[in-house]
Structure 1
């Protein structure tokens, strides 16, 4: 770019900036006008929030927040759920089901998803002594606790007739093609085709692919192009653009409603990795359009290389599972492979029972996932000498060797206090989930150790101010770390807990995946052919995704059902639905439907692994090297951020790295002085520059 072009583009950028400001001002005025009209409507003596919500394009809770006098007696306040990237099984006959996290409301019995027969469990009792932590950022968020007496004891049970069992059928493979919609290149088996994709609509893609492959395909992986974003500039949010693309007319096709053992049905709306499911109107063809980025990040890889990666992945899995089949997503594949490791005889051959809905709801509300925290000035210096990124390789695979099994036991605070020190230590080191009151030591000068509920929906933060006392829930690994950390033990009072027997339901599954990952990583390192080396690397990343998202799928969060209602029938929008979009003809909404009868729902396993991973970010022993790694082994004030499996520090560390799961890999290093990041965007920008600045010789391909 020459100087003239530079100055012209700079002038254009200023114009865009001014237009953005004008649009934001106009939007603020419209929102103020909307809220004013809601307030006017609320003065009517027969005004109802369920009538006003669809007219305003808001959820019931959002209308009530603006006009509290409209709150019905039974309304429980709830924040807007955040999108959940993992896909879950969906019942046949219930199109438009999208799994989204939802805070369980223990005061009412959950209902089954549309299309399933609702179960009739005993209605859970209201939780007692809700946990709250007041913060400067907003109102405290409450966490449920176990009710006293027999009601709470009844929570510690299993769902009758629902258990994870070994499948008695062979999973069927699907004919798959790989399509780059940017350049119209399609790879089918060993053949490459060039297609005219027209406008890149779903209809154009289906027409072109089935014209080229007349015998038909069942899965189309989009390797590049993101066609669902083609009209992104016409919609306020990416998710709206994706929904419009998925639901656009497809002559000769309709939304798939599922078939046979495959209960996946309807489109899956996700901002970046959506799934379109279509069925010929004649009913003789079913096909999915999916993003390959569900499996791994691509970097300009051509469809042939990605096809080779899936071939290598299948070969690696077949060495451990003779009936292994690659399914549509890593989570589906991981869960299917796990069911095939359930013992056919002996202990647990009758399966792993699913917890009661009440206990699953408690775990969903009180057990967070990865730690994501940015420390900003004055907790860290305003100017950093450098920024070093350490990422734990294949981290979750390190924490699958022990998991909860058996009937959970409820432990009261009085019971725990009556135990000996040895019994207490054994319980906290075992498989448990604990309701506690924690106090930060008066001399503490490092990062926080335990998650506490932050005001926003499903958010967590980590109190570190000396003398702070807070009440929360935490897993055994984190409590063990708080009590035995290398600096100063924290004061912990156990109020209640849930304790399981120690078992190994995931150990065989994880060992096989770790071996597949190790073999593929070695192929990527030693393979002389660049394309095959890259394919092996992508395949190793896919194995990582199978384990990572497989663990996430055990959490099986309560579901959101998405539906549409004609604008002319606005009154038919469910009263507890949230409006997520509308046009001249239809209103699109979503509503929570509670838990499905998923036989593979085990949030206790996911919670235990996540707790172990968060604890390992703080301290982790390397027995072979007789040393420790983690945030607590870096100097106070040098920890800048936690990001799921990664640490960002201002000083390099001599932590051992042997390319094993859980090892800390130095992944980025940016020399300073640098302004301390004050937002996630700032951190990610510095991360990317730091990764680019780190020489390839100082990293390891197996990460």
Structure 2
């Protein structure tokens, strides 16, 4: 090519550039118009849900959408049979909050105490977990669906999550289904690490997906606090009383915005209007969905556009989120209606106290984050605050890589949450001499100092067996996740130590029958405790595992939240004004929720997508049939993981594993010296009645010290016996409430004296 040809080619490129630019503008204009029309269609579909006789298939045909898309926009049009929805709603779900982390790392015992119990995998056929009549009652564990995750999906995402998020505070968790008997479940096979090229994906990260420190500051939203029972509204420094009419979303929005123009977020502190008329519906979730989608001439469901993902409603039995935009100005501002219960149980506090609690919370966080902003939910706030602690120097200055989808799926399937277990007679008496509850104080904040980072290294059974005793101990004490075959030793007469998988959605039991053998996954802290506990070592065969690098991705985040919690806790005890003391206490509970839900947000479960197919037609691959109504089959299937840069299930799994170990054995230290122990293994056999994530119920008081520090066991309730043994989780929670009331009365009487 000569210079003349080169110059001509450049001129041609300039002309082509102009044509491309013009074409791009045309595409952008067309896309904008398409987005506008799509949003109009979504609003019209949502509006049709207000017609009682509306059918999803007719709306789908008229709109050009699939039935599944129509149901995602308007949940009331879901053609799923009522019996199927009722069966799903009645399924037992563990009413536990996000679990607490490991206390302190289990002290390394001499190698001789550990190595003999570690053996190579035996070729013998594995025996199933026996469902003995003396076994504990397992609770079905709900997936860690965090509200902040669920609502941050695009408007087309399914608005009804497969399982409700766990409650942030104890009292909310008192609504529970009866626990299933052991006979109803059987062993469940967990996935293992494949060999060959397929196994390489389990030692990899997702390309181009990294948790990075944000380069922007969150914008605060104008927020008010509403008691929907009395109509009182706290806005800025004044309280007004509103006429809420029939308390529909439209009437609430009209009344609030008339009194406080520009409001973007409404927290309902009491009198949840979403339960109005609930008796007319087969499930409480259906009632909430109907309330959220109440037709209004002035308001419509916010469907979002472009990069705005905060759109659509979040349907939850007790803590729903409604997002609305003016019907006449769909591109205008969005106003949210949310529940105060996301942050804390208001426990009768008025709107002024709730608003003051938010003010104190923001002030406490602001002392540790210059750019702290309270977002819609604790999970969103916790994740945002964590992202602002990502280091700007050192190895992880560029952010933390997200594990491969295969590895995240493995952790999802094998990393159970907190231990929730009711132990039944004859392991405990039919008549309890007392019911004594201990609860670990703000346990998460104590145990975030170490977490797994980077790409894990696979450890095979042969590789582990080839290690020396000290090397094995070091591997178990590092951030690790192990596939093991476990045998309960002969003569064991205490509680189970390791979770065994059983049928159901992520359900686990804790075998303790001598001679029981099962295969499971567990973290290094649990495995080490099973091998080195002070009662009797269990036999553990290492089948394989994942060994991570020890890091501190959550340490700074935890330290700052711990400091904010300590400030507010101190204020709640020392302030001279009763209202301020209550507000400070509620704010301290909100900090706990930020940590609990923030950590739970890292778990990121696979999404579930539901749909319907006419009978006789081929079903999509990999679906689970939920039921059939006439000629329509309803199904669901996993849709995989989203590309969430904050997905770190390895952190949640490590903390949850440590939580289960801490319920059994927690060490109190002064410096490096262990000065006391607490936990189930330090109570007499036959005295443990219940495990509840970060608490234990027993039949007698324990000499466990309480220093008021995160992780300490606090005496929370004492119900004087004889007490009939609870036969279900629901019965236990009722007795727990009585025990807390009795202890409070006892402490009040002691203070008066």
Q: Does 1:92 align with 2:164?
A: no
* Alignment CA distance shift 1:577-1:275 (3 Å): farther
- Report the counterpart of residue 155 of structure 1 in structure 2: 202
- 1:442-481, Cα deviation, whole Å (9 max, x unpaired): 0110000001112222111100000111100001111111
Q: Indicate how the Cα distance of structure 1 residues 175 and 577 shifts in structure 2: closer, same or farther if over 3 A, else same.
A: farther
2:389 pairs, out of 338, 341, 354, with 341
Distance 1:600 1:650, change over 3 A: same
CA RMSD across the alignment: 3.1
Partner of 2:706: 657
State the 1:257 CA deviation: 2.4
Mapped to 1, the partners of 2:297 and 2:634 lie a distance apart of 22
Please tell me whether the aligned partners of residues 578 and 589 of structure 1 are also in contact (alpha carbons under 8 angstroms).
yes
Q: Find the counterpart in structure 1 of residue 304 from structure 2.
A: 258
Does residue 679 (structure 1) correspond to residue 739 (structure 2)? The answer is: no
- Post-superposition offset of 1:234: 0.6
Aligned residues: 597
3-state DSSP of counterpart to 1:660:
coil
Is structure 2 residue 643 aligned with structure 1 residue 597? yes
State TM-score, norm by structure 1.
0.80
State the secondary structure of the residue aligned to 2:225: strand
CA-to-partner distance for each residue in 1:312-352, whole Å, 9 max, x for gaps?
00000000100000000000000000000001222211100
Task: Give the equivalent residue in structure 1 for 2:48.
Answer: none
Provide the C-alpha distance between the structure 1 equivalents of 2:634 and 2:373, rounded to a whole number of angstroms: 35
Is the aligned partner of 1:514 residue 2:526?
Answer: no
State the partner residue of 1:647.
Answer: 696
* Distance (whole Å) between structure 1 residues aligned to residue 306 and residue 587 of structure 2: 29
1:250 offset after TM fit, Å?
2.5
Note if contact 1:432-1:499 (Cα within 8 Å) is conserved in structure 2: yes
**Residue 396 of structure 1 contacts residue 610 of structure 1 at CA under 8 Å; is this kept in 2?**
no
Q: Residues 568 and 602 from structure 1, CA distance in 2 versus in 1: closer, same or farther, beyond 3 angstroms?
A: closer
Question: Does residue 354 of the first structure (1) align with residue 402 of the second (2)?
Answer: yes
Q: Is the 8 A contact 1:228 1:246 kept in 2?
A: yes
Query: What SS does structure 1 have at the residue aligned with 2:726?
Result: coil
Alignment of 1:237-316 (within 5 A): 237-258=283-304, 263-281=309-327, 282=329, 283-316=331-364
Residues 254, 280 of structure 1: 8 Å contact kept = yes
Change (3 A) 1:267 1:322: same
1:407 match: secondary structure: strand
Match of 1:18? none
Q: What is the distance in 2 between the residues matched to 1:579 and 1:329? A: 33
Distance between the aligned counterparts of 1:334 and 1:84, measured in 2? 15
CA distance in 2, matches of 1:147, 1:413: 13
Pairing of 1:107-506 with structure 2 (within 5 A):
136-213=183-260, 215-258=261-304, 263-281=309-327, 282=329, 283-506=331-554
Contact 2:145/2:163 (<8 A) preserved: no
Q: What is the TM-score with the length of structure 2 in the denominator? A: 0.75
The correspondence for 2:682, drawn from 610, 633, 639, is 633
Stretch of structure 1 that moved more, 243-252 or 667-676: 243-252
Provide the C-alpha distance between the structure 1 equivalents of 2:242 and 2:711, rounded to a whole number of angstroms.
44
Q: 1:387 & 1:55 partners in 2: Cα distance? A: 43
Q: Distance in 1 between matches of 2:528 and 2:143?
A: 32
The answer to whether the 8 A contact 1:554-1:602 is kept is yes
Aligned positions of 1:505-654 closer than 5 A: 505-561=553-609, 592-624=638-670, 626-654=675-703
Measure, in 2, the Cα distance between the counterparts of 1:364 and 1:195: 46
Kindly indicate whether the alpha-carbon contact (under 8 Å) linking 2:614 and 2:633 is maintained by their aligned counterparts in 1.
Answer: no
Of stretches 244-253 and 625-634 in structure 1, the one that deviates more from structure 2 is 244-253
d(CA) in 2 for partners of 1:342 and 1:277? 31
Q: Provide the rounded CA distance (Å) in 1 between the counterparts of 2:80 and 2:341.
A: 37
Structure 2 stretches of 5 or more lacking a match?
Answer: 1-77, 89-139, 165-180
Q: Deviations over 1:336-394 (max 9, x none)?
A: 00000001222211100000000000000101111000001111110111110000001
CA contact (8 A) 1:59 1:578 kept: no
Q: List per-residue Cα deviations over 1:79-125 (Å, max 9, x = no partner).
A: x99575621153334254455469xxxxxxxxxxxxxxxxxxxxxxx
Q: How far did 1:245 drift?
A: 0.8
Q: CA deviation at 1:603?
A: 0.2
Deviation at 1:156, TM superposition (A): 1.1
- Is contact 1:273–1:290 with CA below 8 Å preserved after alignment? yes
Deviations 1:201-252 (A, max 9, x none): 1111111112222x32110100001110001111121111011111121322
Q: Match of 1:12?
A: none
Deviations 1:275-327 (CA, angstroms, capped at 9, x unpaired): 11112230212011100101011211101100000000000000010000000
Contact 2:141 2:417 in 1 (8 A): no
Q: Determine the C-alpha separation between the residues in 2 that align with 1:388 and 1:397.
A: 25
| Cα separation, 2, equivalents of 1:590 and 1:218 | 35
